[in-house]
Structure 1
Amino acid sequence: MKRVIIIGATSGIGYEVAKDYLKMGWRVGVAGRREDALEKFRSMAPNMVEIQPLDVTRDDAPEKLQILIDKLGGMNLFLLSSGIGSQNLELKPEIEINTARTNVVGFVRMVTAAFNYFKQQGGGHLAVISSIAGTKGLGSAPAYSATKRFQNSYINALAQLAHMEKLNIRFTDIRPGFVETDLLKDRDYPLLMKPERVAAHIIKALNRNKRIIMIDRRYAIIVFFWRMIPLWIWERLPIKNK
């Protein structure tokens, strides 16, 4: 039986992906900060779900991940879905630093733990949910876009490392556009997607072992043109959401 562990599965995209894998007959391990939400998820299929409270910003997060792996009886697929982001036009340092604490420090903490586990086990599939925001620096959310670019580069580096060491580890960098989750609540974002739809795209990409996936085609087109915009023009674009 296949086993997946999803970090950040108490709401949003991670929650929907976890539900879909459960329907597909996988054993599912879910982790997040809210124990009550984890217990609620487990109640859907107590014999198929294992839970573990975990905060990626804490030093003990890798130990908690290992506890969850042991409960589940192993791990074939690891998906990191935890992340935060805020518009910060006032450039408040606490917002920027807190974003980096989760999206950089917490990210590194969890993906290195998963990488080392798969290295010891002889293989596995390591996937992360980053964002199209990593394509360009967004003036309305500097830390968020910068940390997402970091995530993109870090997964590229791990993929190269795996090849260098001849490890049977597959990687998927999932880059959604704007998704209707708590992260974007009370904001007027264009082309907002439902998390259920995004989850379906993610599972399809993971099943096909896609290396990088942008969700959806509309955002893939947007990113294509973003990349063509010269830096001097980009820096003069008033890209923000009210």
Structure 2
Amino acid sequence: MKRIVIVGATSGIGREVARLFIQQGWRVGVAGRRQELLESIRNEAPGQVETEPIDVTAADAPERLYALIDKLGGMDIFFLSSGVGWYNPSLNPEVEMKTVETNVKGFTQMVDSAFHYFKQQGKGHIAVISSIAGTKGLGASPAYSATKRYQNTYIDALAQLARMNKIPIRFTDIRPGFVSTDLLKNQSFPLQLKPEKVACQIEKALLKKKRRVIIDWKYNLLVFFWRFIPLWIWERLPIHT
């Protein structure tokens, strides 16, 4: 039986992806900060699901990840769905640093731990949710945009590192547009996607081992065209939500 570990599974996209893989008959390890929500997922399929409370920014996060893998009996796919972001045009320093702590420190800690596990195992698949926001800096969300660019680049670097060392690790960089989750609660970003729809596309991308995927077609077009916008024009665009 195939095994997937999902970090950030207590709500939103992560939870929907967990449900889909449970339906597919996989063994699923779910992690997040809220124990009661993890237990509610396990109760849906007690024979298939293992849980572990993990705060990706905590020093014991790698240890807890390995404990979850042991409970599961191994890991074939590591899927990181954990992340934060805020609309922050006032540039509140606390908001910016919280974003960096989770999306850079927490991201790096968890992805590196999965990389080391798969290196020892001799194979594996690392998938992460980044964002189309990493393509261009959004003035309303500076730290979020920058940390997502970091994630895009980090996965590219790890993919190269794996090839340099002849380690058969697959990578999938999932870049959704704006999704209607708690992350965007009370914010009016345009073209918001339903998490259920996004999860279905993520499941297909993981099973097909796609290297990079933008969700959905509307955002594919958007990202394609805005790459051609000169910097001097982009900086003058009044992008508000």
State whether TM-score is above 0.5.
yes
Measure, in 2, the Cα distance between the counterparts of 1:238 and 1:126.
Answer: 36
Q: Which residue of 2 aligns with 1:64?
A: 64
Give the aligned residue type for 1:226: W
- TM-score under structure 2 normalisation? 0.99
Deviation readout 1:158-190 (Å, 9 max, x if unpaired): 000000000010000000001110001111121
Shift >4 Å, 4+ stretches? none
The CA deviation at 1:207 is 1.1
- Provide TM-score, normalisation by structure 1: 0.99
The size of the alignment, in residue pairs, is 241
Partners of 2:99 and 2:240 in 1: CA distance: 18
Shift of 1:6: 0.2
Determine whether 1:137 maps to 2:131: no
Structure 1 segment 1-242 matched on structure 2, within 5 A = 1-241=1-241
Q: CA deviation at 1:141?
A: 0.3
Q: Percent identity?
A: 66
Amino acid at match of 1:196: E
3-state SS of paired residue (1:4):
strand
Question: SS where residue 50 of structure 1 aligns?
Answer: strand
Mapped to 2, the partners of 1:108 and 1:230 lie a distance apart of 31
Gaps of 5+ in 1: none
Residue segments in structure 2 that go unaligned for 5+ positions in a row: none
Residue 112 of structure 1: how far off its partner (Å): 0.1
Could you tell me which amino acid in structure 2 is paired with residue 208 of structure 1? K
CA distance in 2, matches of 1:93, 1:189: 22
Aligned to 2:44, the other structure's residue is in SS state coil
C-alpha separation in 1, matches of 2:115 and 2:227: 30
